[in-house]
Structure 1
């Protein structure tokens, strides 16, 4: 059965205006636990002002509400932060097979490709051929402890160098044909 003075109880019958007025609930207590609750007829007293920089009222209270502990989880001491879950993890252990060697791209292979693209009135094409073949030799002779990448880049520089050299050869043959009076 419901309490007739409960302001949150559903109305028993009819419209709420038909039931008359209900007494207001008692105001919240402003007293301290040692004094007990005050009645609504007492004169209200403002609470004492807290001292500046006062310590917390409960020095051993946890800084956050405690959640239900998982089975097997360490139980923290009240007033202290749990240490184990936040401890620094050890560094990763080295692989028993050794570390992978760092592969670096051969610089002459990159130079060969750049000179093959730039062309520089056939001087770049000739240098692209030279640097490309030297880079392929260096990549092939690189030790296993320090392997080199860039074989495809060197081959691309060599191809562009040969294209430039072939264009130079066609240009020279065209000039020779014009100079001999090939009309």
Structure 2
């Protein structure tokens, strides 16, 4: 049975899960009724940061144009342009033992592609979630349902894996941003 988190909660991931190494972060969402004439295209991006919360190299920014980091520790499944269907809309596979030592945090984000031009925001998105799955056992360990707390935001930091005393933990963040992917990049120290 997965642990269901609320915004701001943190939970141990590897402590008590001996041997856990291969996990999948599945993210999903639905779009509300929308008559703006454009498709919704939500995208997952991953920022692998140092202790100061900054990305040290461009290869540690994982998204649809850079599907994995140099070490192959974080691998993005690919862009789902419609979000149609049940289950995860996009996913990221992580091999914890391969995450470089200088990476303290792996942040999972979702943005709306061309949100400003299309007049879209997360107020038009519902049932958004992230779940962490132990892929060896095909067992959902953690689930965080974001709720409906967003209105004008076009980007969200959904959750973070982070190292603490040699173990990996997960934090349910749910922090919204205006300014889309560019705002997130600036937040994590990348030039846009």
TM-score tier after normalising by the smaller chain length: under 0.3
Q: Which has the higher strand share?
A: 2
Of the two, which has the highest radius of gyration? 1
- The structure whose RCO (Cα within 8 Å, separation 6+) is larger is 2
User: TM-score, normalization: structure 1?
Assistant: 0.21
Q: Which has the higher helix share?
A: 1
User: TM-score, normalization: structure 2?
Assistant: 0.21
